[in-house]
Amino acid sequence: MKNRLLSLGQLVAGIAHEINNPVNFIYANLTHASEYTKVLLKILQLYQQTYPVPSLHIQEAIVTWDLDFIQKDLGKLLESMQVGSDRIREIVLSLRNFSRLDEAEIKNVDIHTGINHTIIFLRHRFQNESGNQVIQVIKNYGVIPQVKCYPAQINQVFMNILNNAIYALNEAIANLSISQNPQSQPFVPTIWISTEILDKNWLNIRIKNNGLGIHESVISKIFDPFFTTKPVGKGTGLGLFISYQIVAEMHQGKLICNSKTSQETEFYIQIPI
């Protein structure tokens, strides 16, 4: 198990490294491109002021290429490219922190950092196709010490549980769009993440969502290998199984699930300090 996860971490770190170099090149040059564009547009404006009546073939070119639109849109285009490159750099940083190749062995880490990077990595899944945030994440972090663990593997647990929460919330959203009563309370898809110390010796990480919930008859099976309630092609049935192995076997901890059908699901990740 550990070797497979380490290999995955090496693959992710390698991809992140390969993406990082060209992205940094684009990011650095976008700043210069934006400055040069402003200078060129300023000179163009000075020409227009100095020669308000250009020759006929220049007037035709201005109309053909829609110079007014280009002047207005070019700045917005460069800003969008800047935002896109920022997003890619953020994803690469999250990939590198998520894989934690340099921390493949057990060591003391800040658990909150791992959770935050996992949330950043999944941020696009909290949004709809228009880029608006549909699923909100509420964090209630307690005062906790650094915890001795395998960082990459614990990050994988966060990833698996949050992915399941997002799936449950999307299912709830789809169901409500079909059967929602206009007079009912608006549904706000939410994931709550909290951390606390239990009995001075245990770190307790709680991840709760207000999606559809899990039926009582299924709770006892969710950590079984290849068991899934998702349709064919939507899940492998390995995410929670692997998470249980990481928490229970690699860290001598506990992974517990509580759920109320059609209401909420909460996972407790408990790791000895």
Q: Which stretch of 169-173, 190-194, 257-261 has the lowest confidence by average pLDDT?
A: 257-261
Task: Express each pLDDT in 173-208 by its tens digit.
Answer: 887 765 555 556 778 899 999 999 988 889 999 999
Residue bearing the bigger pLDDT, 140 or 173: 140
The pLDDT of residue 204 is: 95
pLDDT band at 1 (very low <50, low <70, confident <90, very high): low
Task: Tell me the pTM.
Answer: 0.62
Up-side HSE of residue 60: CA atoms within 13 Å toward CB? 3
The pLDDT of residue 197 is: 93
Q: Which stretch of 90-94, 96-100, 187-191, 195-199 has the lowest confidence by average pLDDT?
A: 96-100
**Which tokens go with 216?**
């009582």
The pLDDT of residue 254 is: 92
Under a CB-based contact definition with an 8 Å cutoff, are residues 12 and 92 in contact?
Answer: no
Residue bearing the bigger pLDDT, 235 or 224: 224
Closest by CA to 172, choosing from 190, 157, 193, is 190
Whether pLDDT at 73 is above 70: yes
Task: Express each pLDDT in 110-133 by its tens digit.
Answer: 999 999 989 988 888 888 777 778
Whether pLDDT at 43 is above 60: yes
Whether pLDDT at 237 is above 80: no
SS3 of 44, please?
helix
Residue bearing the bigger pLDDT, 15 or 110: 110
d(CA 154, CA 21): 28
Give the single-character DSSP code of 131: S
Task: Express each pLDDT in 206-218 by its tens digit.
Answer: 999 998 777 776 7
